[in-house]
Amino acid sequence: MITLEDWALIRRLAAEGVPKARIAGRLGISRTTVIKAVNSDSPPRYERTPRPTSFTVFEARVRELLVEAPDMPATVLAERVGWTGSIRWFRDNVKRLRPEQQRIDPADRLVWEPGDAAQCDLWFPPRKIPLEDGTSKLLPVLVITPAHSRFITGRMIPTRKTEDLLLGSWELIQQLGRVPRRLLWDNEPGIGRGQRRADGVAAFMGTLATKLVLLPPRDPESKGVVERRNGWFETSFMPGRSFTSPADFNAQFTDWLGRANARVVRTTGVAPVDRLDADRVAMLPLPPIPLHLGWRNRLRLGRDYYVRIDTNDYSVDPHVIGRIVDVTADLDRVRVRCDGRIVADHPRLWARGRVVTDPAHVEMAAVLRREFQQPRAAVGDDLSRDLADYDRAFGLIDGGLS
C-alpha cells in the first residue's frame, strides 16, 4: 500500500498531465498502483483485519441480554455472562453494542401557532424563602409561557396543591388578558395524571373554555419552551439576589420578567413582548362570569372557634359557635362568613402547622365564657293572689252566687 504522501503526489502529477508510466518509474511502483491511486475517491487507509478478542466468545450472550434489557448495567452483564477479565475492557465493548439495541426516539420540530398553546410548569428556586414564623422553605413558582410569543408569566405560590395551582393559573392568565386555547401540563399531581383530573380542574378548564393537555412521559419537546426558561431563571435571575419573604420574591421576579420579556429570543429573532399581541388576538376571551377558586369549606363552627386551611388554623368570632360558616381562602387572605357577614379575615400563612389568632376573638370568647358560667336568674310565680279573682273566674261574683 502506498503512503498518503505518495497518493497525493500521484494525483497531482496525473493532474499536470505526466504519463502514468513516468509516475510509476519515478516513484518505483507499478503502473497498476498509479492507476488505482488516480481512480480512487479517498486517500489510502490502513485497516486492521479483525481478530478474535477475549470478549468475542461473550458477545452473542451480551447481545441477547441487551435485547431483553437495553439499560442493564455493564457490571450486571459481566456477572450474568461469567466475565472474569478487565471490567473496563468489558464496559468498552458493551458501550459499543448498546446503541444497536436501544430504541430510537426522534424529536420533531414543533411549530407553535399564535394563541394555540401555553406551556405550564413548576419551578423550584434553589433557595429557601423566609416565612412569617421565622422558618424558611423551598416554594414552587408557577410559570405559564405562551409557546408562540415565549412571553413569560410567573408567580410564587404557597403549595403545589390543586387549589393554589388553579388560583395561580387564573392570576397569570389574567395578566395575559386572554385565554390560550390549550394548557400543556406534564402530569402534575395537583392537575392530573393520565386520564384522571384532580378535583375542580375540569370545571376550571370548562369555565375558561380551554383544553387541558396532559403530556405523556418522556416527551420533553412539547414543554421545552417553559423548561428552558426555568433553567434560565437559575442562571440569570437567581445569582446575587436575596429575599425577605414570598411577597419580596414575587416583586423582584415580576420586575425582572418585565425586562426579560423585552429581550430578543435567539430562536425567533423577536422579543416576546413584540409577539404577544399576535398571540392574544388568536386566544380566547376571558370568561364573563367570576371564577370561584381557592380553598372552600362549609362547616358548623365548634366550641374550638378555629377553622383549618391547608395545615394552619385561623380563629373565628365565637359569637357564631354552633352555626354554619363558609370558609374561603386565596393566595393572600383567609375569610370566614356566616349568613354573608364576615366573621374572620386573616392574612394567609405560607408556613405550616401554625395557629393564627385575632385578639378580639379571644377577648370575646372570654366574655361569652364568663356569661355562660354565671347562674341563670330564677324566674318564680307569685303564689299570693286575691281570692276574689277565683270568685270571678267561677262566676260567683257579678251575677253569680254571692
* Residue-by-residue DSSP string for 357-395: --HHHHHHHHHHHHHHHSPPPP--------HHHHHHHTT
Residue 71 C-alpha cell reads as 439499560
What is the separation of C-alpha 283 from the centre of its chain, rounded to a whole number of angstroms?
A: 22
Q: Is 61 helix (H, G, I), strand (E, B) or coil?
A: helix
pLDDT tens profile 310-322? 999 999 999 999 9
pLDDT surpassing 60 at residue 3: yes
Q: What is the pLDDT of residue 390?
A: 61
Report the C-alpha gap between 178 and 147 in whole angstroms. 14
Report the C-alpha gap between 332 and 158 in whole angstroms. 9
Check if the beta carbon of residue 217 is closer than 8 Å to that of residue 179. no
Check if the beta carbon of residue 145 is closer than 8 Å to that of residue 118. yes
Q: What is the pLDDT of residue 401?
A: 46
The average confidence (pLDDT) of the chain is 89
pLDDT tens profile 360-387? 999 999 999 998 888 776 555 555 666 6
pLDDT tens profile 222-264? 778 888 899 999 999 999 999 999 999 999 999 999 999 999 9
pLDDT tens profile 167-181? 999 999 999 999 999
Report the C-alpha gap between 302 and 324 in whole angstroms. 10
Residue 112 C-alpha cell reads as 407553535
Closest CA to 278 of 382, 172, 149, 128: 149
Check if the beta carbon of residue 334 is closer than 8 Å to that of residue 316. no
Helix, strand, coil in percent for the chain, rounding step 5? 40, 15, 45
Check if the beta carbon of residue 187 is closer than 8 Å to that of residue 162. no
**Which residue intervals of 214-356 are DSSP H helices?**
224-232, 246-260, 272-282
Counting every residue written for the chain, the total comes to 402
Which residues are CB-contacts of 151 (< 8 A; sequence separation ≥ 6)?
145, 176, 261, 272, 273, 275, 276, 279
Q: Average pLDDT for residues 69-84, to the nearest whole number?
A: 92
Q: What is the pLDDT of residue 398?
A: 56
Q: Average pLDDT for residues 193-200, to the nearest whole number?
A: 88
Report the C-alpha gap between 251 and 247 in whole angstroms. 6
